[in-house]
Amino acid sequence: MREQLRVNPIDCAGHGVCAELLPDLITLDEWGYPKLVPGPVPPRSAGPSLP
Smallest gap from Cβ 11 to another protein, in A, equals: 6
Residue closer to another protein, measured from CB, 14 or 42? 14
Smallest gap from Cβ 43 to another protein, in A, equals: 21
Smallest gap from Cβ 7 to another protein, in A, equals: 8
| DSSP string over 23-45 | TTTEEE-TTS-EEEPSSPBPP-P
Give the residues lining the site for another protein (CB under 8 A): 8-17, 20-21, 29-33, 35, 48-51
Query: Using a CB cutoff of 8 Å and minimum separation of 24, what contacts does 23-28 make?
Result: none
**Would you say 41 and 3 are in contact if contact means Cβ atoms under 8 Å apart?**
yes
